[in-house]
A and B are shown apart, each in its own frame.
Chain A
């Protein structure tokens, strides 16, 4: 039992350091991960601890970074490749989707690609259209890739540690606005299982299914809803692949109403997949349509006004829940 105050950033760093201490085959490869310490300082000083042989600074060559991680994994290392922004994932999509994701299957199960691709996404820094996207749907749409997106400090640590034990490629997407999130955690407490959602709040009226930063917004909205007599369940997906749909189904069946919240764009996004699945599987239990609250179907602007206006926040989640519940709960 060791309670400690930790930021999301420090938890990630600690996960990397602990994994590297435990397993000499863990190597980090990416732009500015070594001497610079990571564009968001996640790998700060790891090069001092583990040396440049294991914390490898690369040229600005994203496809080769991911491809080299694939090859390193095939040849027995445990690489953690870093993409500075998830927005660059398109440049690496061949290596990720055609190579990493398909090697086990194409080659008849002879070998897997046990690598982690760490990256970060989302809005919050006026970073503009090419540095603010939420592209998890690209990954979730690709069979063969696992996908983890931590919302909390404890999950930042545990999910990254667990990702580094998985037999298949894991894309690990952090949220740039969460790096400074500070929470008191007990990393020695029983570790939540990989592939299971966390029910962050239990309610009786509706279920809000979400992940990453939007978990915090959903919790804020749930607090406001409680003040109006509406009790929401908040589900944090933690991993989007594997997806723990059993828990989602159980919770939705209890309340008969569901909202899915995602920062990614609405159309053909993660929220679309989840809402389709809930609609299909929980059809007999649903009192209302499953409502998606997601990013607008537009690029992200550098203007702060437009940037914050184009993605969900606590207010939109609250208002949508109020409309969903309007006249439907006994006062």
Chain B
């Protein structure tokens, strides 16, 4: 199980999810491009925007194997994963713009989007921070006999964090329905994976803990979906698993990073491994969709994602008073504002 596997396709021309997988990947790519535009237009809340361009197959492929009721957490580069789990791109973009209409009312932003309704237990700006939650969600699923699984999505950089190993050990020890998804885009900021670990065969670590583990080439979304399906079936049966998706981070770490630490030739080779273009070519090649049909699909997606910007720009900022909301549960009193306290004290002095 530890070698990247070629996918066996039962029938190349029919019964395939490739059109849907392609559409999802196109939506993710276009959404991320619009996030970049939002920043350029000065409409994003800050510049800590991490785009998942080049890794769309991980989100689209793995999420295709998940179902309603499943839960998941993501890292800071999680827009695509959430879209693939059914997010409303308008509310996502509004959150990235720091607007009241966003998923978290402008409090979270790009790195902290969540939606409990869709099973999204939260994006995280702490590398590795969201991983152990899936152990707890796995425990809960088993306790409640819900049949749900819980998936943690994280980057290769998170394999440096001890908490990943503590979590995998617990999941294996207790046979929990947990899936650990490592999106290996080869870099954690400016550090290439081989500069951060002596053994870059990351799935071997999971195997050491007793998890089912494999590595799949992210160029081929069907391969990712296939691996996802296989592993998710096992996970649902209480066999926790670890999936590495090999891909390449096409652009900088965050919006302002131009990756000067990368070799331009390496970048060119990396960007040539484009899962969206690869799927598009396969669709045409296998006569699943004609080029004109794909053009139409792309145009629809572009219109959908263009609208997220218009939507976001039109939204208002959260009201100042909302800052005291949701520190505690709504039935609890809000913290006293500093100004109120000062006035109260000085009125009596």
CB of B349 to closest CB in A, whole Å: 5
B126 surroundings in chain A (CB, below 8 A): 87-88, 91, 130
Q: How far is the CA of A186 from the CA of B324 in the complex (A)?
A: 45
CB of B73 to closest CB in A, whole Å: 14
Q: Which of A125, A128, A289, A305 contacts B349 (CB 8 A)?
A: A289
Q: How far is the CA of A310 from the CA of B106 in the complex (A)?
A: 14
Which one, B131-139, B191-199, B233-241, B267-275, is touching chain A? B191-199
Closest to B345 in A: A289
B266 within 8 A of partner (CB):
no
Report whether A57 and B111 are in contact in the complex, using a CB–CB cutoff of 8 Å.
no
Report whether A301 and B261 are in contact in the complex, using a CB–CB cutoff of 8 Å.
no
- Given A31-B189, A302-B45, does the pair A126, B109 have CB atoms closer than 8 Å? yes
Report whether A57 and B108 are in contact in the complex, using a CB–CB cutoff of 8 Å.
no
B215 within 8 A of partner (CB):
no
Which one, A17-25, A96-104, A138-146, A291-299, is touching chain B? A291-299
B160 within 8 A of partner (CB):
yes
- Given A296-B335, A302-B46, does the pair A130, B112 have CB atoms closer than 8 Å? yes
Closest to A295 in B: B338
Q: Which DSSP category, helix, strand, loop or mixed, fits chain A's interface?
A: loop
A61 within 8 A of partner (CB):
yes
A181 within 8 A of partner (CB):
no
Report whether B196 and A60 are in contact in the complex, using a CB–CB cutoff of 8 Å.
yes
A32 within 8 A of partner (CB):
yes
Report whether B157 and A36 are in contact in the complex, using a CB–CB cutoff of 8 Å.
no
Q: Mark B173-200, 1 if CB is under 8 A from A, else 0.
A: 0000000000000001111000111000
CB of B75 to closest CB in A, whole Å: 11
Closest to B155 in A: A60
CB of A305 to closest CB in B, whole Å: 5
A293 surroundings in chain B (CB, below 8 A): 338, 342
Q: Mark A110-121, 1 if CB is under 8 A from B, else 0.
A: 000000000000
Number of interface residues of B (CB under 8 A): 51
Report whether A298 and B323 are in contact in the complex, using a CB–CB cutoff of 8 Å.
yes
A299 surroundings in chain B (CB, below 8 A): 107, 327
Report whether A61 and B109 are in contact in the complex, using a CB–CB cutoff of 8 Å.
no
Find residues 1-45 in chain A having any chain B CB closer than 8 Å to their own CB.
31-32, 35-36, 39
Which one, B26-34, B206-214, B296-304, B314-322, is touching chain A? B314-322
Q: Mark B24-42, 1 if CB is under 8 A from A, else 0.
A: 0000000000000000000
A162 within 8 A of partner (CB):
no
Closest to B195 in A: A57
Q: How far is the CA of A305 from the CA of B320 in the complex (A)?
A: 7
Q: How far is the CA of A299 from the CA of B318 in the complex (A)?
A: 15
Report whether A129 and B189 are in contact in the complex, using a CB–CB cutoff of 8 Å.
no
B125 surroundings in chain A (CB, below 8 A): 127-131
Report whether A296 and B189 are in contact in the complex, using a CB–CB cutoff of 8 Å.
no
B62 within 8 A of partner (CB):
no
Q: How far is the CA of A323 from the CA of B339 in the complex (A)?
A: 11
B80 within 8 A of partner (CB):
no
A183 within 8 A of partner (CB):
no
CB of B322 to closest CB in A, whole Å: 7
A59 within 8 A of partner (CB):
yes
Q: Mark A57-77, 1 if CB is under 8 A from B, else 0.
A: 111110110000000000000
Q: How far is the CA of A310 from the CA of B129 in the complex (A)?
A: 25
- Chain B CB count within 10 A is highest, among A36, A58, A88, A295, for A36
Q: How far is the CA of A88 from the CA of B337 in the complex (A)?
A: 27
A199 within 8 A of partner (CB):
no
Report whether B335 and A298 are in contact in the complex, using a CB–CB cutoff of 8 Å.
yes
Find residues 308-348 in chain B having any chain A CB closer than 8 Å to their own CB.
317-318, 320, 322-324, 327, 335-339, 341-343, 345-346
- Given A125-B46, A126-B48, does the pair A32, B106 have CB atoms closer than 8 Å? no
B128 within 8 A of partner (CB):
yes
Report whether A128 and B111 are in contact in the complex, using a CB–CB cutoff of 8 Å.
yes
Q: Which of B107, B128, B159, B342 contacts A303 (CB 8 A)?
A: B107
B223 within 8 A of partner (CB):
no
Report whether B191 and A32 are in contact in the complex, using a CB–CB cutoff of 8 Å.
yes
CB of B182 to closest CB in A, whole Å: 13
Report whether B323 and A129 are in contact in the complex, using a CB–CB cutoff of 8 Å.
no
Report whether B106 and A303 are in contact in the complex, using a CB–CB cutoff of 8 Å.
yes
A177 within 8 A of partner (CB):
no
Report whether B107 and A60 are in contact in the complex, using a CB–CB cutoff of 8 Å.
no
B197 surroundings in chain A (CB, below 8 A): 59
9 additional A-B pairs beyond A125-B48, A293-B338, beta carbons within 8 Å, are A57-B195, A126-B45, A128-B112, A266-B338, A291-B345, A297-B327, A298-B327, A301-B323, A303-B99
- Would you list 5 pairs from A and B whose C-beta atoms are within 8 A, ordered by A residue? A35-B195, A125-B47, A129-B108, A299-B107, A306-B322
Query: What 10 pairs between A and B have smallest CB-CB spacing?
Result: A126-B46, A302-B109, A59-B160, A36-B190, A303-B106, A303-B98, A60-B160, A130-B125, A297-B335, A59-B196
- On B, residues with C-beta under 8 Å from A are 45-48, 98-99, 106-112, 124-129, 157-162, 188-191, 195-197, 261, 317-318, 320, 322-324, 327, 335-339, 341-343, 345-346, 349
- On A, residues with C-beta under 8 Å from B are 31-32, 35-36, 39, 57-61, 63-64, 87-88, 91, 125-131, 266, 288-289, 291, 293-299, 301-306, 309-310, 312, 316, 320, 323-324, 326
